[in-house]
Each structure stands twice: as structure tokens, then as C-alpha cells.
Amino acid sequence: MTSSPRSTTGLPPLVSGSVLVWRGTLDPPPEVSALLDTALTPEERARADGLRMPAVNRRFRASRGWTRLVLAGYVGTAPGRLVFTRSPTGKPGIEGGPAFNLSHSGDHLLLAMAPEGALGVDVEEGRRLRDLDGLASRVFSTREREDLFQLPAGPAREAAFLRGWTRKEALVKAMGQGLSLPFHLITVDILQSKGSLLRRIDPSVTAGWEGDPAGWNIVDGGIAAPAAGAAAVAWDRPIGSLQVVDLPPDPASAAWMALAREM
């Protein structure tokens, strides 16, 4: 496999055939929050100032700050100078930059990156779901419902539902469709966590696509999800390996200080 050049800050390289997932918290210590805040644009700071709920404000600042700080290390520019693009369906990207996708749930953040391709990631905190069976009837395929309802009602069934939802959402995010795509047209493995977890995409979803829909893959091995929660990554090609890296909590670490000096 080949790899892209390492950034000047010593961040892990993006390797062909491999997905890199940065894992972090949206509740960092004050000194880290201060560093992340410097990565924001004036427009993002103004938007954050308009968020009245403290937790929402904090999570917005940390999410945008981490995203800009990490991506800037690979693009080779100051975090505040990154210019994000939007696909016709609203999927964010960077012109000329690597593929990336972001997900957060509660205070948990995942930022997936790859050298190229259509990439999606999703993380969900564990939570009690009202009318789980009714939800499953709307968003799960027949095969998935059969697998789900063979499990006893309670934590095991709730965990399986969350795994299925997370895997589907990672895929539709990679496709750039978001929640507009009917989830029941996608079938994933909700019981296992090894290998590719995508079973089938209904032909009506992929009509008119360029490329081979059979090339899409979903994995979740190696992503430490929140307690009782779930996480998954989807890519439009085989995933040879999945590397998970924790975002450094120390704002004085060499990589982050080097980026901060560029701002």
C-alpha cells in the first residue's frame, strides 16, 4: 500500500486502502478548549455565541475546533483558513483535501479520514429507546427485523438496534444522502462485529450510480464506542485496515502546538 506524505506536525499518514479514525471528547479541559477556540473562524465564534445552552455551545466549539485543527495538519494550512465545500446534498468536504467525515454523540467525537473516496462515520451513545419495535418496523429490512426479534427484549435487543442504526447511518453519510435515504432499503449485519457488515443495498438506491455498489463496505472493529453505544465506518471501497487514534488531551503536545503557531 502507498501512503500520503506525513504532515509537518508528525500526524499519522493517510494510507491507501486504510481508514484513520480520530477519537476525542467534546468536553476537553479548559486549556484545550482555549486552543480549539483559536482554530475557529470569526463566523463560527459568532454562531457559537448564539448558542445559549452551555453544553451545546461547548460541543459546537470543540467539534469545529478539532476538525479544523486535525484537517489543517494534513492540508498544510492554518486551521482558520480551511475552506469547506458542500455537495448538492450538503455533505461537507475540502477541495483538494482528503476524504473525511465527522460524527458526535453527547461528548463523544469521531473524525474519519482517508486519502480519497466516499467516507462516512457514525457514533451513537447508548440510550433507552421508546417503541423500539415500532422504529425497527420503519427503518429495518425484513432480514434485520428477523435478526432483531430473535433477541430477548431489553438490553440485547436495544444494543442490536443501535448497531444496525449506526451502520446504516455511516453508509448513507458516506453516500452523501443523510436521513433522506430510506433506511429499510439497506440491510446490514446487526449481530456480528467482524468483517464487512453490509449485506445488501436495494437496487432502487443505486440506480444511475457510477461504479460498483458491491464495493461498499461497513466496519466497526477497533472503534471503541461509548458504553452501551455503537460506532461504524463506511467507505466506497474495501477497507484493508482501520486505525483509531486518540486526540491528544495535552494542548502542549508538539503536533498541536506546531499547528497553533501557524494560525
Residues 103-136: tens digit of each pLDDT: 999 999 999 999 999 999 999 988 788 889 999 9
| Cell numbers at 120, concatenated | 462516512
Measured CA to CA, the distance from residue 141 to residue 137 in angstroms comes to 8
Q: Report residue 2's pLDDT band, with 50, 70 and 90 as the boundaries.
A: very low
Query: Is the overall model pTM greater than 0.85, yes or no?
Result: yes
pLDDT at 87: 86
Q: Report residue 1's pLDDT band, with 50, 70 and 90 as the boundaries.
A: very low
User: Which of 157, 169, 168 lies closest to 126, judged by CA?
Assistant: 157
Contacts by residues 209-216 (CB-CB < 8 Å, ≥ 24 positions apart): 211/236, 216/171, 216/174
Topology alike, domains 17-117+241-263 and 126-236: yes
- Domain spans of the chain, in order of start: 17-117+241-263, 126-236
Alpha helices in the chain (DSSP H): 30-38, 42-49, 54-75, 132-139, 142-149, 155-175, 203-206, 254-262
Residues 203-255: tens digit of each pLDDT: 888 776 656 777 899 998 778 666 658 999 999 999 999 999 988 756 556 55
DSSP code of 116? Answer: S
| Cell numbers at 95, concatenated | 477541495
Q: β-strands 186-188, 92-94: how paired? A: unpaired
User: Within a 10 A sphere around the Cβ of 180, how many other Cβ atoms?
Assistant: 9
At the top level of CATH, which class does the domain 126-236 belong to?
Answer: alpha beta
| CATH code, residues 17-117+241-263 | 3.90.470.20
How far apart, in Å, are the Cα atoms of 214 and each of 36, 187, 203? 39, 13, 11
